[in-house]
Structure 1
Amino acid sequence: MAEKRPTILQIIPELDTGGAELSTIEIADAVHSAGGHCIVLTEGGRLVQRLRDTGAEVQFFPAAVKNPLRLLWNVHRIANVVRRDGVDLIHARSRAPAWSALLAARRTGVPFVTTYHGAYSEKSDIKRLYNSVMARGDAVIANSHYTSDLIRMRYGTSRARLHVIYRGVDGRLFDPANVAADRVAAVRRRWSVAPDKRVVLHAARLTPWKGQKFVIAAAAQLAKQSSLDDVVFVLAGDAQRRNAYRSALMKQIQAAGLEDRVLLVGHEDDMAAAFCAAHVAVVASVEPEAFGRAATEAQVIGTPVIATDIGAPPETVLGRPGVEPERATGWLVPPEDAERLAAAIAEASSMSPEERARMGARARNHVLKSFSLKQMKQQTLQVYDSLLGTHMAEPT
């Protein structure tokens, strides 16, 4: 008798941008390629068609609600989906819908998996309880060792239920050989950056903890020193309705007289071309990144990275000064330290083309070895198999 085709239900609030959203799509593709069926409950977003292209079924659902009464009603609705569509396992990727998904899974008797995507803050007992749902899965996936240690410290989650699965990077999509010159030129035109300018790229949504103001401060320091006059700082990221924060950044840029040197360009769809256009990429987060995909995406393109030395980036970036130059793939600097950030940018910009090419090659090989999309898919399917008794993962 043929093995039953497993049906995996993923639930995520929206499909606009971000690591959790892209992981949803990539795991849907892995399930489909392994002969399974994937359903995604979501409120929608710009990535819906990309999800559908994997063969997944999208069901529009109020997955972003936080009202307790509506969350309880969602338990009933999710349980109905499980029964109607023969769902074998529920995988939740965000806290509010995870509560509804957990109760629906217990009601219907199907396994419940969570992926702990963020280093969620816990400033009160209520917030701690709210966050704890992400550690209540039959299997809990942590996207880095930093995240795994955080989960065990906060909730005492057993190692048997914890699985460290790094966020995967598509080495073919982020392959400089596959990024045509006209795509890079098109990105520069969208940014209004001249071909002779070098780009320092900070790619992150506009929110204070991503550290944009320290990138601007570093640019101001370099400008005062009359350093790197051929460098443009590009802050690429969606404001996500944080208009007051965007306005504050614009005022900071204007006050420093950097209107021609620091550009807020909004969301960028073609990140492979964007990182190809960059001379160096910056991850300036002032709070710990649970993983930080910008660091791995830039490295696999061959672009050196400067990241803050908190959270997961020390796992993904082989950073100077702590790593010897012949092994380094970038730099690690303290958070909220514009002076050290400026110094690293100056050092990166002073590299010869040959030195930068060697660092870029090391960076690409480092990511392909340890943070590949294939590894992430395979390891996630192994978690599903362990709970379902199926054989979706390829034999290792």
Structure 2
Amino acid sequence: MKRVLQIVPALESGGVERGTLEIGQALVAAGHRSLVVSAGGRMVPELEAQGSEHFAWPIGKKSPWTFRLVRPLRQFLREQRVDVIDVRSRMPAWVAWKAWSGLPPSERPRLVTSVHGFNSVNRYSAILTRGERVVTVSESLRSFLLSHYPHLDPGRIEVIHRGIDIGEYHPGFLPSSDWMALWEKTFPQLAGRYTIVLPGRITRLKGHFDALDILQGLQDRNVPAHLLFVGGTDPRKENYRRELESRILADGLAPHVTFTGQRTDLREILAISNAVLSISTQPESFGRTTLEALSLGRPVLGYDHGGVGEQLAELLPEGAIPVGKTQQAADRLAKWAKGDNPIPRWPHAWDLDTMCRRTIGVYENLAGG
């Protein structure tokens, strides 16, 4: 049995946090002891119900005061006889590294740092390259690290794609009849329309203006399309949303665009869509929603960069287009709308079991067994 400590800032929501729970559950199932240090959050009860142990420390706060946790963490590592640390964020990584490096080499656990995004390139971010193993979630992220941190030995990097539960996301999934009835009653404007979904928060990064360009292109090509923006709006992004709404009104697209707001049924929405967009203006390190849509058998049209480009290259090459080529995107979707829908590759190896097995393999190999 190995004792593995994962460290994240908090457990409120998000992909990194979800991955922490998934790895914790897999560790317990494999007979290991799973410990998690974070500031806490609404995901803690689920984590503990799966058999992991949670320790509430304010380790993610970006403040010099957070370094007061270095000595307590060093003592914690000794008392709990931790075999492996996996730290998944920059501020916690600084605290963990100082605690770890202050131990005699013979007493140190093995140190893993996990990189989940294209962080700014500076000394603060460089801490995530100091692990004995550096786990990244895509080949694009691996290339990014090597190009910006020349001291990083490529042999220390392990690319482990995030995975999804193929029992939940598969081409045979269908929403319940009750869900369908409520959906059709709530959104009658979608009846008979070619429904395109852009999932994600209402932020400039997600490419909403490009989506409107694509929608306009479909209108010009006589495709009866309707665009769904599925995601909530942070109060700080209200000005951006107003920009979007002004553009929609100015171009006469209001009858063809719906903001659904935040939803808890994205799987069902993806499953009944005709096509899904993944057009973030900056490359995403992975793109979980893209993989979910592809696994549901839905055609995805996405920009060919970052983790999304990697997914499309392997699972649906027909869905990849150059960044910003909205008219090319409209041409592609118009072709699909005429019944020429491509089918994503299935089955695939981007599944949750593979992710967990490979991650635990890194821990076991480092810790010796």
Contact 1:184 1:274 in 2 (8 A): no
Q: Which moved more, 1:194-203 or 1:154-163?
A: 194-203
| Whole-Å separation in 1 of the counterparts to 2:41 and 2:323 | 32
- Mapped pair 1:81 → 2:76: yes
The alpha carbon displacement at 1:182 in A equals 3.3
List aligned pairs for 1:384-395, cutoff 5 A.
384-390=363-369
- 1:346 aligned residue: 334
Aligned residue identity for 2:126: S
| Residue identity opposite 1:384 in structure 2 | Y
Equivalent in the alignment of 1:314: 309
Task: Quote the offset at 1:22 in angstroms.
Answer: 2.0
SS at match of 1:98: helix
Number of the residue aligned with 2:3:
7
Q: Identity of paired residues, percent? A: 27
Aligned residue among 189, 211, 217 for 1:215? 211
Counterpart selection for 2:27 from 9, 25, 31: 31
Q: Deviations over 1:182-214 (max 9, x none)?
A: 375278369735454432111223332221221
Q: 1:331 aligns with which of 310, 313, 319?
A: 319
1:262 aligned onto 2:287: no
Write the letter of the residue equivalent to 2:14.
Answer: G
Deviation at 1:70, TM superposition (A): 2.3
1:377 alignment partner in structure 2:
356
Distance 1:311 1:92, change over 3 A: same
- The aligned residue for residue 125 of structure 1 is none
Q: Secondary structure at the match of 1:146?
A: helix
- Segment drifting more, 88-97 vs 177-186: 177-186
Aligned to 1:202: 198
Separation (CA, whole Å) in 1 of partners of 2:245 and 2:34: 42
Q: Which runs of no fewer than 5 residues in structure 2 stay unpaired?
A: none
Q: How many residues align?
A: 362
Check whether the contact 1:9–1:39 (CA below 8 A) recurs between aligned residues. yes
Counterpart residue identity of residue 329, structure 2: L
Question: Residue 112 of structure 1 corresponds to which residue in structure 2?
Answer: 111
The 1:383/1:241 distance shift into structure 2, 3 A limit, reads: farther
Check conservation: 1:206, 1:242, Cα contact below 8 A. no
Question: 1: distance between equivalents of 2:110 and 2:147?
Answer: 24
Deviates more, 1:132-141 or 1:307-316: 307-316
Q: How does 1:1-396 map to 2 (within 5 A)?
A: 5-67=1-63, 69-108=64-103, 109-122=108-121, 128-156=122-150, 157-182=152-177, 185=180, 188=183, 192=187, 194-223=190-219, 225=220, 227-229=222-224, 231-243=225-237, 244-318=239-313, 328=316, 330-350=318-338, 352=339, 355-356=340-341, 359-360=342-343, 363-365=344-346, 368-390=347-369
Q: Aligned in 2, Cα 1:61/1:259: closer, same or farther, shift over 3 Å?
A: farther
CA distance in 1, matches of 2:187, 2:59: 38
Taking structure 1 as the reference length, what is the TM-score of the superposition? 0.83
CA contact (8 A) 1:184 1:276 kept: no
Task: Single out whichever of 93-102 and 35-44 deviates more from structure 2.
Answer: 35-44
Q: How far does the alpha carbon of each residue in 1:134-168 deviate from its partner, in whole angstroms, 9 at most, with x for none?
A: 11111101111111111111113212211011111
Report the more deviating stretch, 381-390 or 91-100.
91-100
How many Å separate the matches in 2 of 1:195 and 1:132? 51
Paired with 2:231 and 2:69, the residues of 1 have a C-alpha distance of 32
Q: Do the aligned residues in 1 keep the contact of 2:197 with 2:229 (CA within 8 Å)?
A: yes
* Residue type of the alignment partner of 2:58: P
- d(CA) in 1 for partners of 2:221 and 2:130? 54
Could you say what the CA RMSD is over the residues aligned between the two structures, in angstroms? Answer: 2.5
Kept in 1: contact 2:312–2:319 (CA 8 A) = yes
Distance 1:79 1:29, change over 3 A: same
* TM-score normalised over the length of structure 2: 0.88
Q: How far is the alpha carbon of 1:282 from its aligned partner? A: 0.8
Instruction: Quote the offset at 1:316 in angstroms.
Output: 0.9
What letter corresponds to residue 132 of structure 2 in structure 1? D
- Tell me if the contact between 1:309 and 1:333 (Cα under 8 Å) persists in the aligned partners: yes
Offset at residue 218 of structure 1 (A): 1.9
SS of the aligned residue for 2:306 comes to coil
The alpha-carbon distance between structure 1 residues 277 and 9, as it changes in their structure 2 partners (threshold 3 A), is same
For 1:27 and 1:370, how far apart are their aligned partners in 2? 17
TM-aligned CA deviation for residue 241 of structure 1: 4.3
Q: Deviations over 1:297-355 (max 9, x none)?
A: 11111001111011222221138xxxxxxx845411222333223223222222x2xx5
Quote the Cα distance in structure 2 between the aligned partners of 1:281 and 1:22: 23
